Amino acid sequence: MADIQQGGAGMDFDLSQFYQIFFEEAAENLDQMEQMLLGLDVNAVNDEELNGIFRCAHSIKGGSATFGFSDVAELTHHMESLLDRLRRHELQLIPQMVDVLLESADASRSLLARHQAGGQGEAPSTRELVSSISELATGGQGMAPVPSFAAPPAQPVPQAGPAPAPTPAPAPAPAAPAAAAVPAGAPASTGERALEIHVGPLPQPALADAIKELFRDIPGLGRIADLDDERPGMRRFAVHTSSSDEDLLDLFVFHVAKEQVAIRPAGESAPSSAPPEDTAPAAALQEPYGLFDGAPGMPASPPPQASPAAAARAPAARPAGEGKAAASSMESTTIRVAVSKVDQLINLVGELVITQAMLAQNSRDLDAGVYQQLLAGLADLDRNTRDLQESVMSIRMIPMSTVFNRFPRMLRDLAGKLGKKVDFVTHGEATELDKSLVEKITDPLTHLVRNSCDHGIEMPEERLAAGKPEHGTLSLSASHQGGSIVIEVRDDGKGLSREKILRKARERGMDVSDSMADGEVWNLILAPGFSTAEVVTDVSGRGVGMDVVKKNITALGGSIEIDSAEGYGMRVAVRLPLTLAIMDGMSLGVGEEVYILPLSSVVESFQIDPQQVNTVAQGSQLVKVREEYMPVVSLERIFQVPRPQSSTSNNIMVVVEADGSRVAVLVDELLGQHQVVVKNLETNYRKVPNVSGATILGDGTVALILDTGALVRRARH
């Protein structure tokens, strides 16, 4: 443990408690860096974009050095050096630089994943990457590579319980000769400002020395020199720089807290006279750089009256109080919570929904006049339970942009490997989906995007010969439709060839005919092992992919629809439920059994005369609804529901829609609409045809939730 002394009292400070936060923030920085790198226009570089990429690399470097992950710190330090020369226009951006920076981001992600796993496995070598970066950073002049970033040896991340934390900062190093030679009052060069930087109080001198190393490691940042400071634990520097106060604080933040740094114009430093010895502790608390300001148990004291001179200086200085207020307001807008805690909360809300349904069912026969207050309370409970359920479910809903952002990089690399030119377009990135579904839909979408790029988009010369633009377009969109989310992958490539698919199907011995509808022909590519690729490559052609896509989407309670026009392109639409936890359902009675239909798929219901139901070939039934014949699905037949001799059928039809088709479900009665908690039947029992899950009713019995997609497909075939 690192032992921090403050006011003569020691306390243990374990950096390992911040590991997870660092890994999450580093991952966010790497994702942001990758997006900005992919968005760079090599011919018209935006300075703000380069500054943003530089800040991401610097944040990762500073955090890695603080926690002792020297391999990550060294790699990102070299990236930072190249980016710094680019943003200062000392080098011209070329595509090779973007490539090597993207590769370095991938390597950093791998190194961080290894540290997060406790240092298990062999670390990937970054020697070639560092050499490439150094060569590009020197303009290919053969100069010596950028010096390595000194960081303490990496420590394995603790898997459980507290563990010794690595040294929080690099060992003290002498300042660069140029910086040390700067006198306090030396005139600044054009565009530079003369500043005094006060740091402290600090538990370790190395933390302030790390700031001096920044001026040595980052070319063009400026010059720094030590100044005397008699206050205990304080360090004072003379600095000449063209950077703003905000930029300097952003650079310092991974070595010392913002509250420990005060930046003032040279000559406007705080009074040098030390406070009387007996008041020193209280005075230290009033300094704007206290490490433990506002800690529990600290005495509250009013701020001292500022003198006129101090008031005149106030706009130039950056009091820590302002930074602290800004930081606290930023932190209050978001909070990091473990997914397991959210899942536990959703499970508890699910149990609450079941209990509320039980109370509602048991109170149906109560006299409204006698139990008016009780029934009013139950109505409030019903409304509040629904609001609580919607609020809790929204916590798990995350935007589709988290999935879409994975593809620009993958598509860039794949198009480069295939020699194709592809533009990637996204729509509906803000559309939200349950977190569990987002994680499970990523792989199927990856297959679809790769297939569109490999099989769909033609080579540039083929597109030009066909009168198309040289660049193909691949679009990914998401939208809400009823109680489902529809994700579409489109391309303007050559589309599917009906003739080629039928020929391949016959070669594999599949039962096909020339009279098949286009939709049925397109669905053949979802068969296991089916592929129309003439050559097997490392991208595709083995017949593995589309069948896996269908299997994964079906397992999520979703469906897949393919549409294509030869020569014009292809569209694959994936329809998924918004959530797998709680939904609105309609209870149906068949005999003495109860079934649940997802309310989002219910179109209408009506009573039917048995004479209006027509029987056609092979015993199939049709019903005429407003000049449209619709297949009839009898739940009594499908689930072989026993019917007592005394019971009679009410012949109620419920029209449901799925996969763009409608069927009429024949039931005995409609029992009502209410929220149901979806339980996975396959996990607790086994896979049951035409059933997507189960739920617990208010009386404690179990009801099956019907799979409307399966019912529609059954009627169709």
CATH number (domain holding residue 402): 3.30.565.10
The one-letter amino acid at 472 = G
Backbone angles phi, psi at 223, to 5 degrees: -125, 150
Task: Please determine, for residue 553, whether its predicted confidence score (pLDDT) is greater than 80.
Answer: yes
State how far the Cα of 663 lies from the Cα of 624, in Å rounded to an integer: 11
Length of the chain: 717
Q: pLDDT tier at 483 (50, 70, 90 boundaries)?
A: low
Last residue of a domain, one of 138, 156, 184: 138
**Residue 162 falls inside a structural domain:** no
Strand bridging mode 621-625 / 613-615: antiparallel
State how far the Cα of 571 lies from the Cα of 565, in Å rounded to an integer: 9
Q: Mean pLDDT: which of 63-67, 260-264, 531-535 is highest? A: 260-264
Range of the domain at 250: 193-265
Q: What is the 8-class DSSP label of residue 683?
A: H
29 or 541, greater pLDDT: 29
State how far the Cα of 279 lies from the Cα of 196, in Å rounded to an integer: 25
**Residue 317 falls inside a structural domain:** no
Give the tens place of pLDDT for each residue, 100-144: 899 888 888 888 888 888 777 777 788 888 888 888 888 754 333
Task: Please determine, for residue 582, whether its predicted confidence score (pLDDT) is greater than 70.
Answer: yes
State how far the Cα of 20 lies from the Cα of 11, in Å rounded to an integer: 22
Q: Mean pLDDT: which of 6-20, 87-101, 137-151, 170-184 is highest? A: 87-101
137 or 182, greater pLDDT: 137
The answer to whether the CB of 97 falls within 8 A of the CB of 136 is yes
Is residue 613 located within the same domain as residue 570?
A: no
Is residue 413 located within the same domain as residue 561?
A: yes
State how far the Cα of 37 lies from the Cα of 102, in Å rounded to an integer: 7
pTM: 0.52
Q: Which burial class, exposed, middle or buried, applies to 333 when counting CB atoms under 10 A from its CB (0-12, 13-18, 19+)?
A: exposed
Q: pLDDT tier at 477 (50, 70, 90 boundaries)?
A: very high
Give the tens place of pLDDT for each residue, 189-247: 456 888 888 888 776 666 777 777 778 767 678 888 888 877 777 888 888 888 888 77
Is residue 205 located within the same domain as residue 80?
A: no
**Residue 480 falls inside a structural domain:** yes
Structure token digits, residue 434: 């349950």
CATH number of 668's domain: 2.40.50.180
Structural domain count of the chain:
4
580 or 225, greater pLDDT: 225
Task: Please determine, for residue 474, whether its predicted confidence score (pLDDT) is greater than 90.
Answer: yes
314 or 122, greater pLDDT: 122
**Residue 427 falls inside a structural domain:** yes
Structure token digits, residue 37: 């790198």
Is residue 128 located within the same domain as residue 224?
A: no
188-200 burial string, b = 16+ CB within 10 Å, else e?
beeeebbbbbbbb
Task: Please determine, for residue 177, whether its predicted confidence score (pLDDT) is greater than 70.
Answer: no
Averaged pLDDT, 376-397? 87
- Percent of the chain with pLDDT strictly greater than 90: 7
Q: How far is CA 470 from CA 113, 424, 563, in A?
A: 39, 14, 23
Is residue 440 located within the same domain as residue 565?
A: yes
Please, which residues bridge with residue 703 across strands?
Answer: 695
Is residue 568 located within the same domain as residue 600?
A: no
Is residue 524 located within the same domain as residue 555?
A: yes
Give me the pLDDT at residue 491, please: 92
Structure token digits, residue 540: 């595709």
Scan for tokens 């794949």, then name that residue.
414
Averaged pLDDT, 67-77? 85
Give me the pLDDT at residue 607, please: 84
Q: Which burial class, exposed, middle or buried, applies to 153 when counting CB atoms under 10 A from its CB (0-12, 13-18, 19+)?
A: exposed
Of 375-379, 541-545, 671-675, the poorest mean pLDDT is in: 541-545
Strand bridging mode 397-399 / 223-227: unpaired
The answer to whether the CB of 431 falls within 8 A of the CB of 533 is no
Q: For the chain, how far is it from start to end, CA to CA, in angstroms?
A: 69
Give the side-chain half-sphere CA count within 13 A for 336.
Answer: 8
Please, which residues bridge with residue 666 across strands?
Answer: 634, 653
Q: How many helices (H) and strands (E) does the chain have?
A: 23, 24
State how far the Cα of 217 lies from the Cα of 209, in Å rounded to an integer: 12
Last residue of a domain, one of 216, 234, 265: 265
Of 7-21, 78-92, 679-693, the poorest mean pLDDT is in: 7-21
Is residue 528 located within the same domain as residue 464?
A: yes
Last residue of a domain, one of 214, 231, 265: 265
Give me the pLDDT at residue 187, please: 43
Is residue 513 located within the same domain as residue 558?
A: yes
CATH number of 35's domain: 1.20.120.160
Task: Please determine, for residue 167, whether its predicted confidence score (pLDDT) is greater than 50.
Answer: no
**Residue 490 falls inside a structural domain:** yes
CATH number of 200's domain: 3.30.70
Kindly report whether the peptide bond that precedes residue 201 is cis, defined as omega within 30 degrees of 0.
yes
Is residue 112 located within the same domain as residue 204?
A: no
Strand bridging mode 628-634 / 652-658: unpaired
**Residue 42 falls inside a structural domain:** yes
The answer to whether the CB of 636 falls within 8 A of the CB of 593 is no
Question: Which strands sit side by side in the sheet containing 422-427, from one edge to the other?
Answer: 422-427, 472-481, 484-491, 569-577, 559-565
Task: Please determine, for residue 12, whether its predicted confidence score (pLDDT) is greater than 60.
Answer: no
Strand bridging mode 569-577 / 484-491: antiparallel
The answer to whether the CB of 622 falls within 8 A of the CB of 668 is no
Is residue 572 located within the same domain as residue 651?
A: no
Q: pLDDT tier at 577 (50, 70, 90 boundaries)?
A: confident
Is residue 640 located within the same domain as residue 551?
A: no
**Residue 602 falls inside a structural domain:** yes
**Residue 479 falls inside a structural domain:** yes
State how far the Cα of 656 lies from the Cα of 658, in Å rounded to an integer: 7
Q: How far is CA 217 from CA 56, 175, 212, in A?
A: 16, 10, 9
DSSP H helical ranges for 117-244: 127-137, 177-180, 205-217
Integer Rg of the chain from CA: 34
- Annotate 298-340 with three-state secondary structure: CCCCCCCCCCHHHHHHCCCCCCHHHHHHHHHHHHCCCCCCCHH
